[in-house]
Each structure stands twice: as C-alpha cells, then as structure tokens.
Amino acid sequence: MVSKTPPPPPPPPLRGDDEAPSLSDKETTEGKNSGPRKRPVKTRYILWAAALAATVALLINFTLAGSSREQVTYTNFLTMVEASSVTEAKYNNNNGGIDFSTAAGDFRTTGPNPLPDADHELIAAATKLEFATPQPNFFASIFPLLLPVMLLIGFFVWMQRRAQGQMGSIMSVGRSKAKTYTTERPGTTFDDVAGYDGVKKEITEIVEFLKHPAPFAQIGARIPKGVLLVGPPGTGKTLIAKAVAGEAGVPFLSVTGSDFMEMFVGVGASRVRDLFESARKMNKAIIFIDEIDSIGRKRGTGVGGGHDEREQTLNQMLAEMDGFETTEGVVMMAATNRPDTLDPALLRPGRFDRQVVVPLPELADRKLILAVHLKGKRTQKDLNIDLIARGATGMSGADLANLVNEAALFAVRRGRDQINGSDFDAARDRVILGIERLTVAQSPEHLERTAYHEAGHALCAAVQNNHDPVHKVTIIPTGMALGVTMTLPTEDRHTLDKAEAEARMTMAMGGRVAESMVFDEFSSGAANDLVQATNIARLMVTEWGMSAVVGPMSLADGGPVFLGADMMQSKNYSPDTAKLVDDEVRRILNEAEAHCRDLLTEHRKGLDLVARALLEHETISGDEVERLVKLAQDEPNVASASETVGASR
C-alpha cells in the first residue's frame, strides 16, 4: 500500500509537430532556378542491354534451327520408301537426321549414322537422295565457351565497384551529419512556441544581430558566440533554437552530440571541422548541437581517465569556436539538461557566453500550451482549462501534449465524441500514477487496512493549513500502489518553508500511524512514505538549514556525478557531524510521527468516516474528505458515511 503526494511528472517538449523539412547540403547550396539536370546514361546499363539482346538472338537462332516437320520412326520411313511414297530425302552426315517429303507432307526421322549400305541402296533406288554436312553457326558454337568467361568478368567488375563504393563511404565518414533547414519552406517561429516570454526576450538579441548586424558593428558591441539552452528534458529547447533560425531567416544546421562519435579514430574531430566549414560557406547560419553533454563532458574524469576520441572531438570544437569571428554571422547554440557535467573550457566567455534557462512552464504558460494542443480536438464548451493547468503542476510541454492525447483516448473509450473534464482527470491519474489494476484481488482485511492507510494520509492533509488540499483518495490499485491519496497545489510553488516541510512529513506518516492505531501493528505499505519523509528531513538538516542543532551549514554533496570522479573524494564533513545529522533527522521524523498521532487521535471519528466511505465507494473526492471530517467534528455521534457521501454525489 503506497500512498503519497505524487511527485511532479517528467517534463515533455512544447511542440514537436512544427519541424521544418530538412534539406541536404547540396539542395541548400544550389539555387531554386538551377533547373533540372539530365542524368548521365550509365555504361553498365548499356552492357546489360547488349548481353540481354545477344541471349535473345541466340535463343531465336536455336528455335529457328529446329525443324517444323512431323517426326516419324525410321521403320515407318523405310516402309514409305518401299511403297514409293517418298519423293526426295536429305541425309545429315553429322547426326543421322533424314528430312524427306511425300505427297502427304514433310516429315523427319533419325536413322543410323553412318547409313548402312542396304538402306542406302534402297533409299537411293526409290527416291532422290542427297547427303549434306551443315556447318554450325559461329555464334552458337562460340557462345558456350564465352559464357563462363563473361560471368567471370562480370563478377570481377561487380567486386571492383563494390570495393570502390566501400572506399568512398570510408573516405566520406568524416563529413558532418548535420541536417540543414532553410527558409525556402515554412519554418518555425516564436509564434509556434507557446509561453516562455522570458526565454524569447532573452534570445531576441541573437535574432536582431543576424537580421541587422550593422548597429552592433557600429557601436562596437559583439554578439555572444554561443548560447547554451539549459533545462529539464522536454521543455522545448530544440524548438526554441529552430524558432530563432526561423525568426532570423538564416539556415539552421542541426546535429546531435552522438553524431560525432564513430568507430574510427579522428572522425569526431573531422566532422566538427566539416560542420563549421559548412556554416562559414552559408555566410549567416545557426549551428545547433542537441545533447551537447555527450561530447562536452569534463575531460579527465571517470575511472581510468576520459574517452580519448570524445576528448579530441571536444578539443576540436573548442578550437573551432575560437576560430570564427563574431562578425561572420555564425552563431552556435546547444541544448543540455546536464550543465553540471560540461567542461569548464566550453562555458568560458568567448565560447558559450550566455546560458538561457528553459524551465518547466508556469501556470500561465501551461494554459497557453494546453490551448495549442487542444486545437483541432473536439472539447466541451465549458471545459475549464485553468483547472486542468493547475492540476498539471510540474508538467512540461510534452507531458501536456501527452495529457491531452490521453484525455482524447479516454473520451473514445467511454463512447463520447467530445473531451470533458472527467477525461482529463482520468488522463492525469493515468500519466502521474499509472493504470488502474482492477484485476488485483484483496481480502476484506487487507482492503480495510488499505482504506485506513489512505484515510490517515487524507485526514492529515485535510486538517493541516500548511498542506496542499486533497484532490482525490482511492483504494483502487493504481500503478505500483494499492491505494493513492492525491493532493494538488493551489498555485505554483518554488520554495518550501519549514512549516510546509513539516506538514508534508506529517502527511507521509499518516498511513503508518493510522494502521498502528487501528490494527496495533505496522505493515510494509508505508515503505515509500518513510522514504519521502526521510528525504525531506535530511534535506532540512543538510541543505535547507532548518535544524537548530546543525545550524546554518550546507552539507550537500554537490561533487561530480561521474563514476570514479567522486570515488577518490571524501565527505566534506567529519564522522561526528554525520552522526549528528543522523540523530537530527531521526528527531525530526519522530516529532512528525508524534504530531501525526495527535492529529489522528483528535480526529479519530473523521478517520473512521473517511475509511468507511472508501470501503463503500472505493474513490472519494477531496471535498468529500473535508466534509466528512467536518461532519465528525459537528456531529460526534454519526455512525456511517454512506448517506453523507451518497448525498454529496
């Protein structure tokens, strides 16, 4: 039984359906009016056609060489000769064939070779007999000898061409794999990026420099050589980079960091050189490297040192970024969600001068993004986008796109032709918590334990003023949990004060304490709750400075994340301090558990009502939880929750 306040979901891109079609480098450099080119006639096609024609001619020759005469036996032929029916006959000295004619037609037979004297005299006396020795066709006689030679020659030619193709691919392995996006077709602009006004304002200078570089040159100002977009995955960093290219109207060369890595030594550095050379030929261009951390990691880190090929690629990129002037009109942009892993030489002034943070969208931004993804979808007219955006805290653009799609799928499953708010509620639960496992069978005892566990969480969240309000409580197995208590914040929150942190720990302890009060024992269902509470308590002591015993001291381990780089580093505090931290964390958790027990003891009647309502209805809303708790306070003698819940429904 895992019940908790669900963590923010992983973030997705703003939009991914507005990518400009890619063109090859050849298509980019050629003009639109260059006209179609005539394709050269391939010599190998002519040779194949000639060989086919020769084969057809040979088959025709063999076919025509055959006789259309009717075949008879040699005995019948002699009978016809004795009856004086044969007028003339021609004997083939090569194969013993006899072509003869009668009044009834032309026939053919095969006799002995050579012809016996008796038969020769008989035939010669009765008919006009001729002997012939036909010469074979020269082409037909030499073709069987030439055929193996031709096959051998063709095989060697094929092997030679194959080897040349492999050599050509090997020689071109060092060329850049960047995709080029031009302005010949509709591209992405800032209008395609919903929200993020602060990010757009930050990078507007890049657009102005590429459009109108003269004012910058006159005053002596230089534009940043590189702009690094930093943010969680899926926040639209690539889309924003394309929007910069679309607004500026310059070519956009897009490549990922993994495209520089190959099995051959030196390929990464060669591709870096080719990439920057292609950008210089375009006069004005934007080079965009996605996931630059794959080649820009700190050098000399990890067990046994860094990857030599990757480091040489990074060295070449650093040299190229120093090699082009800001007046060339080439701007480099990159995106990463791990800026702490990048090499310091890559982030110094003169290379990536500016870092632009692309955070998770705020409430206002989420409304705009939802409006973009809802275009073209049939929704109810009274759909409350504000409520949906408020319930999507922590979601990025891709998460919101997935949320809208899941809501549409739920509407189809339920047989509706429009998307309503209940579909979005189900979609949010599906995205955050997981799918409902309706096939999980629980005994009545375990189901009652789950109900009291979730009721303890819900009651602690409902009666504390510093906690987010309860949105929904269910004992239907969802995802990996047997029950879930979901809370939703009323507004976006970027900081957490001490009272709020203590309220969250108290709420996390609610399920465990409720089980101990009702059943006089603990279960493994509170495992994840203890993990959450312990993490909050440790952050309060080591990073947030909320412990009077430890004081205003940060004990966070913010060292390198590479395997091996932190193995040789010791903790930045002594063993005595570590024991002090553990004791303080234990004290905070014990106080949170004691506070939770006091709350549940005070509202024990409300705990019973919420648990019974869950057993009867499986899922109840946050408003019903608050009403049941208030009902237990106002009417202590109430015994059942079914009537009140049914009335509210």
CB 532 within 8 A of CB 4: yes
**What are the two backbone dihedrals, phi and then psi, of residue 481, each rounded to the nearest 5 degrees?**
-105, 150
DSSP character at residue 90 = E
Amino acid at 589: L
DSSP character at residue 261 = -
Note the helical H segments in 66-193. 74-82, 117-126, 138-171
**What are the two backbone dihedrals, phi and then psi, of residue 578, each rounded to the nearest 5 degrees?**
-60, -40
Report CA-CA distances (Å) from 154 to 47, 48, 91, 192. Answer: 10, 10, 42, 56
Burial 176-186 (b: 16+ CB within 10 A, else e): bebbbbbeeee
**What are the two backbone dihedrals, phi and then psi, of residue 342, each rounded to the nearest 5 degrees?**
-75, 150
DSSP character at residue 376 = T
Q: Which two tokens stand for residue 626?
A: 């608050």
Contacts of 428 (CB under 8 A, 6+ apart): 391, 392, 403
Active site residue 454: yes
Answer whether the bond into residue 114 is a cis peptide, omega within 30°. yes
In angstroms, the CA 636 to CA 642 distance is: 16
In angstroms, the CA 499 to CA 596 distance is: 14
CB 16 within 8 A of CB 398: yes
Q: Which two tokens stand for residue 583?
A: 């004791």
Residue with tokens 């995205």: 431
Report CA-CA distances (Å) from 148 to 137, 145, 151. Answer: 19, 7, 5
Q: Which two tokens stand for residue 95?
A: 């194969």
CB 399 within 8 A of CB 370: no
Q: Which two tokens stand for residue 196?
A: 């993020």
Burial 290-321 (b: 16+ CB within 10 A, else e): bbbbbbbbbbebbeeebeebbbbbbbbbbebb
In angstroms, the CA 591 to CA 351 distance is: 51
Report CA-CA distances (Å) from 144 to 55, 306, 327, 442. Answer: 11, 64, 72, 83
DSSP-assigned states of every residue in 16-33: SS-PPPPB-HHHHHS-TT
The helix (run of H) or strand (run of E) holding residue 615 is helix 604-617
CB 131 within 8 A of CB 91: yes
| Active-site annotation holder among 202, 454, 515, 624 | 454
**What are the two backbone dihedrals, phi and then psi, of residue 517, each rounded to the nearest 5 degrees?**
-75, -40
- Using DSSP bridges, classify how beta strands 252-256 and 285-290 pair: parallel, antiparallel or unpaired: parallel
In angstroms, the CA 400 to CA 12 distance is: 7
Residues tagged active-site: 454
